[in-house]
Amino acid sequence: MTLQACAEIVQRGDRDRFDATMSVPVPAREVLFPLYAFNIEVARAPWVTAEPMIAEMRLQWWRDAVEEIGQGARPRAHEVVGPLAAALERDRDVMAGLLDGVVAARRWDIGADPFEDEADFAHYIDATSGNLTWAAAVGFGAPDRLEAPVRDAAWAGGLANWFLAIPDLEGRGKRPLVDGRPEAVAALARAGLDRLKAARGCEFGAAMPALRAFWLTGPILRQAAADPLAVAEGRLGVSEFRRRAGLLYKAMTGGW
């Protein structure tokens, strides 16, 4: 139950978040790696079995683990839960509640039902990406006034990641968008860019590391807005050179 174990999980399961976390100060990694490892474990839970009941049980295990952390109970013997409990020390109740929302939202991943409407889809992105990112920001001492801009940035980042995942989701029989027409995808990408722009007008201070994982959000959403067919066709993304250069620039300037 070490931070290193969490880092290895993130390195294997979420390259962008791993690289982003390695670019922030070492103390910030003690919060981010456990949170991101938790996110990977929870996101994986609905997909490791074809049995909905087993998937539900896996998610409930994480809800119970997070609830116990929030109550100050001794962490379960698990390679992520121990470091996660330490990462939530600053504001255990609030952060545990946010993570419970992440797990609850992932129940959508279990079945084949589509999102009910655009509001349902927007809630899913906010409950997953938004809750995770705000929990990290709380862990860095972010004041309540930053919650809206942090969630705006996280919603844009979550949308970009969702666009990248759409070919795989459709291959698994899911309907990942309420409206998959090119014009609707482009409009959704522009909505994400609007929220990203609103967030970039804020000063995040010590909470900045929570946003570093979104350094590719702008390029991906701009590509989706200009070429919405690239989403379903799996053509979204940037070159490795641009990816690394962009992260290096953000690290050097302290931005996101």
Place of tokens 């079945």: 111
At 1, the pLDDT band (50, 70, 90 cuts) reads low
Name the token pair of 148.
């809206």
The whole-number pLDDT of residue 50 equals: 85
Closest CA to 192 of 164, 216, 157: 157
Q: Which residue has the tokens 């995942």?
A: 165
Q: What is the pTM of this model?
A: 0.96
Rg (CA), the chain: 17
Hey, where are the domains in the chain? Answer: 1-111, 113-256
2 pLDDT band (50/70/90 cuts)?
confident
Kindly report, residue by residue over 155-201, the tens digit of the pLDDT: 999 999 999 999 999 999 999 999 999 999 999 999 999 999 999 99
The amino acid at residue 191 is: A
The answer to whether the CB of 80 falls within 8 A of the CB of 36 is no
Give per-residue pLDDT as tens, 21-79.
999 999 999 999 999 999 999 999 999 888 999 999 999 999 999 999 999 999 999 99
CA dist., res. 88 & res. 96, Å (int)? 7
Straight-line distance from the first to the last Cα atom of the chain, in angstroms, rounded to the nearest whole number: 30
Rounded to whole angstroms, the Cα distance separating 77 from 87 reads 16
- Per-residue pLDDT, 255: 93
How much is the pLDDT for 49?
86
> Is residue 201 helix, strand or coil?
coil
pLDDT in tens, 84-127: 999 999 999 999 999 999 999 999 999 889 999 999 999 999 99
- pLDDT one-digit tens code per residue, 122-165: 999 999 999 999 999 999 999 999 999 999 999 999 999 999 99
C-alpha distances (whole Å) from 115 to each of 105, 109, 150, 157, 174 are 12, 10, 24, 19, 10
